[in-house]
Amino acid sequence: MVQDRGRVRGYMRVLDRDGNERILEYHNSVRREGVDQPIVRATARDVTDLKRAEAELRHSEQMLRVFVKHTPAALAMFDRDMRYLAVSDRWRVDYRLGGADLLGRSHYEVFPEIAEHWKEVHRRCLEGGVEQADEDPFPRLDGKLDWVRWEVRPWYATRGEIGGLLMFTEMVTDRKRMEDALRYLATHDHLTGLPNRAAFLERLERSLQRVSKGTPDYGFALFFLDLDDFKGVNDNWGHSTGDELLKQVAERLRRQLRPKDALARFAGDEFVGLLEDTDTPAEAGAAAERLLERLRQPFELEGPKVRIEASVGLVLSSQTTSSEEILGWADKAMYAAKEAGKGGWQVYGNGKPPQTVPGSGL
């Protein structure tokens, strides 16, 4: 019951003629001015159905909050101003929120790192849209990078208007890392960390396609490098020393090349690479000599100090657009360099025996 300046408003329960309980809302007012006797005016209306609907709505909202809280998914419910109405325990765990008081707080206050493009998603969904993504990067304030699968959709109030948003998310950071790790293992050599044969062949095909399409001012040289007498390292000092040598060779070659070049471990003690914007025998030979000179420096391994040389075969992209041919010719040029005395390089001539370029460093 509520009293306000002579007015009384309240609810009362009565029984109808069938013995059913009804809820009445009544209003009583008293008029005293200008009359000899106070005049009481009373009105009442049956609000049973309204009160039952309100009670059912409160029960539904309570059940919804219980459901949201205990659902095993990361789920949150927001009003139109993106203030938290309900949040699941999983949401707190995934976003490392602990026991922070979230209800009534703005989503953007809790996560100030939320990017503008996500706020645009929220605005579109508040207009009736439903959006989702299988994986999205979520940079955190602490510098970590999470990956999230999410879906955002509006929820509707009793009269059909949009009351706010429901946001479902799944933290897929661990899955993403595992996928990246598997992808890395599939495309990289486990010993040296360099791209492997399959990854290099993909890169080679892309480069050859640029050549075949006539990309202006584009050309490259492919080199095939094989360590000379590597078997002796394994025989004299063991395979662990040989593996360490291969890792150091890979690192020296990688440091000698430019970021735009490509390098891969092809097999055993064989390495291949692309020298971008290298389209003359002299340029290719100069690059090969720089690689060989770097490898001639002694290698400090656990125990022995090892000196080793290598032989290099080179082919220019202007000679062929076939990956099979360019690799085969580079292999032949490499063996020709070995036959010429090892520790040198050879450039393969198109349809001719390999030619030794002056200054080959034999």
User: Count of alpha carbons within 13 Å of 40, Cβ hemisphere only?
Assistant: 5
Report the SS3 class of residue 154: strand
The amino acid at residue 33 is E
Contact 191, 203 (CB under 8 A): no
Cα→Cα distances 90→69, 97, 169, 251, 341, Å: 8, 10, 10, 45, 68
Contact 206, 321 (CB under 8 A): no
* Catalytic (active site) residue 269: yes
Which one, of 281, 275, 271, 280, lies nearest residue 261 by Cα? 275
Phi-psi region of 342 (alpha: psi -120 to 50; beta: other; left: phi over 0): left
Phi-psi region of 77 (alpha: psi -120 to 50; beta: other; left: phi over 0): beta
Which one, of 310, 287, 159, lies nearest residue 226 by Cα? 310
Among the listed residues 189, 228, 269, 331, the single catalytic one is 269
Assigned token pair, 289 = 């000599």
Kind and range of the H or E run holding 286? helix 281-295
Distance CA 271, CA 111 (A): 48
State the DSSP code for 219.
-
Neighbouring residues of 197: CB distance < 8 A, sequence distance ≥ 6: 264, 265, 266, 267
Report the catalytic residues. 269
